[in-house]
Amino acid sequence: MKNQWIEFFFGIVTVKITGKGTERFINALIRNGYHIWNVKRHGTETITFRMRMTDAKEIRPYIRNSGLKLSFLQRNGIPFLYKRMLKNSGFIAGAAIFLVIIFLLSNVIWGIEIKGAKPETEYKIRKELDKMGVKIGKLQFTVENVEGIQRQLTNNVGDLTWVGVELNGTTYHLQVVEKNEPKKPEQLAPQNLVAKKKAVIVKHYIEEGQLMIDKNDHVEPGQLLVSGQIGQEGQTPKLVAARGVVWGETWYKSHVELPFTTNFKVFNGNEKVKHSIQFGKTELPIWGFGKPEYREYETEKTQHKLHFLKWELPISYVNKTIREREEYTRTYSEKEAEQIALEMAKKEIKSHLDEDAIIKDEKILHKAVENGKVILDIHFKIIENIAVGQPISEETQE
C-alpha cells in the first residue's frame, strides 16, 4: 500500500488469522473496502497482515461462524504511542519537571565573588548590586548583562577606578581596582619654584623656601618665584625643596562658533519591549510581536546566554527595548546664541586648567554674525597656580 507512513498517524495493527478458509476471509475484507497490506502466509493455515486500527475494530463480525481464530500481534502508530505516554505520564512529567528544574538552577546566580576591594568598598559594591537585582537566587537573564553591571558599578561606586565583571557558570566574579588614597608628601630633592607662564602675581602661600617676588609683580615663564637656597648672607646657603602656591593672573583667548539653528534627535519617551529566544542566528519571539510603528527609533539589545549545568547552551534570552526617536530643531536668538557660545568657551578653557583655577573675567574682543551663526573671540582672565618645581643643580647654586 502506498503512503503507508500516513497510516502511522491513524494507528496500525498486525492481525493474525489461523484456521481453514483464511483466503476467503481476506477476500471478504477486500470486497468490503478494507485496506490490508503486508499479507504473509505462515504454514498452511496461518496468515498475518496489517490494517488500520479503526478497521480492525470492525472485522470481528466477519470472523464469527467462520471457524477462524483472530489475534492481534502488534500495535503501532500515534494513537498507541499516545496511550503509552498517558500510561507513563507520571514518569514523563517527572523527567520533564526534573530537566526544567536543572535548567532553571543552572541559570540562577549562586555566587558573587569580589576580589581586590577593601571591606568597606566591598560592602558598597554588594549594596549597589542589590539595588540592581544582582543577588543570590535571582535568574541570570532577569538582571543586567555583564557590561551593564560593570558600567553601573563604575558610575555609582565612587571608590572604584575600574571593575571587571565576569560570569563563570552560576557565579559572578568581580575584580576591583580602587582609587588610590592621597599619597603621603614625598621627600623632594632640593628645588626652586619657577613660573610656568606669563602672569601678574595675585597672592601666594609659601611652605618652605625664600620668596623672590611680591604681589602685583609681572613675571615671565621660567622666572624664579621661590628659591630653595635659604640662609643669611655670609653663610653657606642651605638647600631645601621649595614648596608652596603662587597665584597669578593669566590670560587666554578663545574662538567659538555657534549656529542659530541646530537639528538633533531626541527620545520622546515612547518605547516598546520585545522578548525572544535566540537559537544560533535565529530568533523566536515570545513577547512583543510585529514591527514597531515608530518612524524613527533606536534599539537597545541585551543578550543573556543560557546554561545547563556547567555547559553554555547555543541558546540565548534576548531583551530588546525599542525607543522612538524624533527630530528636534532648536533655534537661538542672537543674544541667546552669544550667551551659549560664551558658556561653551568657558567649558573649553576649564578643560585645560587645574581644578582650583578660577575664571576672573571675560571680555568679547570680536563678534560677528555670518552664515547663520554667531562667531566670538573672547579674552579670559584666569587666576591659577603658576608655580612649578625646578631641581637645583650645582650650576644653579650661588
pLDDT, tens digit, for every residue of 317-338?
Answer: 888 888 988 888 889 998 999 9
Q: How far apart are CA 160 and CA 218, in angstroms?
A: 43
Does residue 230 sit within a domain? yes
- Confidence at residue 379, expressed as pLDDT on a 0 to 100 scale: 95
Main-chain dihedrals φ then ψ at residue 236, nearest 5 degrees: -65, 125
19 and 68 part of one domain: yes
- Does position 310 have pLDDT exceeding 50, yes or no? yes
Does residue 93 sit within a domain? no
75 and 198 part of one domain: no
211 and 339 part of one domain: yes
CB-based burial label for 170 (10 Å; 0-12, 13-18, 19+): middle
Q: Which of 159, 178, 197 is the last residue of a domain?
A: 178
243 and 366 part of one domain: yes
**pLDDT grade for 305, boundaries at 50, 70 and 90:** confident
Does residue 41 sit within a domain? yes
146 and 54 part of one domain: no
- Does position 264 have pLDDT exceeding 50, yes or no? yes
User: Which cell is 172 given?
Assistant: 559572578
Does residue 394 sit within a domain? yes
192 and 251 part of one domain: yes
DSSP H or E segment with residue 385: strand 373-385
Q: Which of 130, 157, 178 is the last residue of a domain?
A: 178
Does residue 105 sit within a domain? no
Which of 245, 240, 225, 243 is closest to 185 using CA atoms?
243
Mean pLDDT for 41-67 is 82
Mean pLDDT of the chain: 84
pTM above 0.85, yes or no: no
CB-based burial label for 28 (10 Å; 0-12, 13-18, 19+): middle
For residue 193, the cross-strand partners are: 226, 389
To the nearest whole percent, how much of the chain has pLDDT over 70? Answer: 94
340 and 254 part of one domain: yes
Q: Are 35 and 1 within 8 A, CB to CB?
A: yes
Q: What residues make up the domain containing 16? A: 4-82
126 and 249 part of one domain: no
318 and 345 part of one domain: no
The count of domains in the chain is 4
